[in-house]
Structure 1
Amino acid sequence: MRGSDFLLHVLWLVLFQAAAGWCQANITSMLAPQADRVMALEEWEERWHEGRIGFHQPQVHKMLENNIDKVLAGRTGVRFFFPLCGKAVDMKWLADMGHSVVGVEISEKAIKEFFEENNLTYSAEPVPAIPGAKVYKSSEKNISLYQCDLYNFSSSIDGQFGAIWDRGSLVAINPRDREKYTSLIISLMAKDCRYLLDTLLYNPELYKGPPFFVPDEQVHSLFGNSCDIELLHSVDALTDRQRNWGLDYLTENVYLITLKSS
């Protein structure tokens, strides 16, 4: 390598590292207001027991409905994973279409209500690999819901998935756990997996969460090394409910994330 080429290479590396450092510092600054916010699993269970589940939607989520063709990409019988699934009616909607669904949820009440409210009979059995965990299985549909800590779940428990619908999971986990969460999600993605991710943008100085603020820059920082990321939608999602939280704007971003071809 000639001296001038070497100098240009070194300069490029220095600029690249400086830009990466600035980007990470910028992300850290944006996340600072919620960085130390922690929700214990018991608090989520308490919300379910008290019926404080304003995040639950009684109908299929529009962002899933509007993008289902992109998620399926012509495939049939796709295995869907729902992290922190709650009692999302989306699961039955997909099962009715002939897909299989695996969800993970800490609240036993949420899981039982899902089956009961959808008139599905079910059975429960222990999960030997996860002490204290149970898996609830529908008798009529291909739906299995694991009651356990999400981070105790892995591909060794129930394989990998062709699709993931993350409507309220990344925005619900504790902000400090996002790298751990990302590693888990990527490990659950089959080669052809199409991961639909829903995030929220707002001023984190005005509301402590959850749901938490997840900037576009962090989505790329978390997934960009392993995945291709496509922003499908960015829409104004502010309603009176969020105004009551003190927010003056709320943007909903929906991404399609796929593993990079090696």
Structure 2
Amino acid sequence: MSRRTIIAMTKDEWAQKYWSDLTEEPDFQRKKFSKSLTKYHNVLFPEPMTGSRVYVPCCGKTLDMIYLADMGHEVIGVEYAKNAVEAFHEDNSLTFTTEDVKDGPFVLYRTKEKNIKIYQGDVYSMTAEICGQFDAVFDRSSYGAIDPVTRTTYCGVIRSLMKAGGRILMETLYYDTSLACPPPHSVTKEEIVNDFTHFNVSTLEVYDEDKGWWADIVDEYQCTISMLQLK
């Protein structure tokens, strides 16, 4: 496989590449709920099982927000691409209202039929004053997709949004970087531990993939499911 030339994308480049043409699904868009979320839901939400507030950064139009809402949680997503937010509602026959957020550069989409709110705007600009704090975060490769030079900022934002003892369920990929260039970025456990210094990090599962949502990037890659808990 030839080496890719893309190293990193700005948020505008990402939105243009993946969300400008809604007739084609992005490679990373899953047609079902994430297996990691359904399998480890009870680990992410040990007590209480329902009623928790959960944050989904860089949510796109993931169906996982519907799963979490149907499990009884209050779901808050953030997504830069307006097209993705509106496609989420259209694809799932959901309606919404919108309002400008006074305390930040966001437009808030409130889903009428489910307990879901999506802030359309920059994930790095989110604050607890805008959206409150959370019991849990589902990071489905958001950490791996962003430019590594912004990870410190990203982790600081996530930390500021977590309640005491809050947990993060995280999916990351690891692959031979001599064969391909990101995005998505190859991530090691050491990088997660070094960046999320205020969290205890444990590995729930590691498995090899030879096909899947980023199989066009490398022939084989390793998926890691991690649990992070705020110290």
Structure 1 length normalisation: TM-score? 0.81
Gaps of at least 5 residues in structure 2 are: none
CA distance in 2, matches of 1:244, 1:233: 23
Structure (1 or 2) with the greater helix fraction: 1
Q: Which residues of 2 match residues 14-53 of structure 1 at below 5 A? A: 37-46=7-16, 47-50=18-21, 51=24, 53=26
Q: Establish whether residue 148 from structure 1 lines up as the match of residue 118 from structure 2.
A: no
Contact 1:80 1:100 in 2 (8 A): yes
Deviations 1:82-137 (A, max 9, x none): 00000010101111121110000011111111112222111011011223x20100
Cα distance in 2 for residues equivalent to 1:125 and 1:164: 24
Q: Look up the SS of the partner of 1:251 in the other structure.
A: strand
| SS in structure 1 of the partner of residue 227 of structure 2 | strand
Q: Matches of 2:124 and 2:75 in 1, distance apart?
A: 18
| 1:92 matched to 2:56 | no
Higher normalized contact order (CA 8 Å, seq sep 6+, divided by chain length): 2
Identify which of 176, 183, 189 aligns with 1:210.
183
CA RMSD of aligned residues (A): 1.8
Moved over 4 A (4+): 240-243
Correspondent of 1:113 among 84, 87, 93: 87
> Alpha-carbon deviation of 1:243?
5.0
- Report the equivalent of 1:194: 167
- Higher Rg: 1
* SS across alignment from 1:171: helix
Query: Which blocks of at least 5 consecutive residues in structure 1 are unaligned?
Result: 1-32
Structure 1 counterpart of 2:207: 235
Which residue of structure 1 aligns with residue 157 of structure 2?
Answer: 184
Q: How many residues align?
A: 224
1:38, distance to aligned residue in structure 2 (A): 2.6
Task: Please say if residues 37 and 175 of structure 1, whose CA atoms lie closer than 8 Å, have aligned partners that are also in contact.
Answer: no
Q: Who is 1:166 aligned against?
A: 139
**Number of the residue aligned with 1:251:** 222
Cα distance in 2 for partners of 1:169, 1:214 equals 11
- Is the Cα contact below 8 Å between 2:55 and 2:136 reproduced in 1? yes
Q: 2-side partners of 1:238 and 1:185: how far apart?
A: 31
Cα deviation, 1:188-223, whole Å, max 9, x if unaligned, reads: 111131110111100112111111111111111112
**Which residue of structure 2 aligns with residue 220 of structure 1?**
193
Task: Give the structure with the larger strand fraction.
Answer: 2
Amino acid at match of 1:239: K
Counterparts of 1:251 and 1:191, CA distance in 2: 31
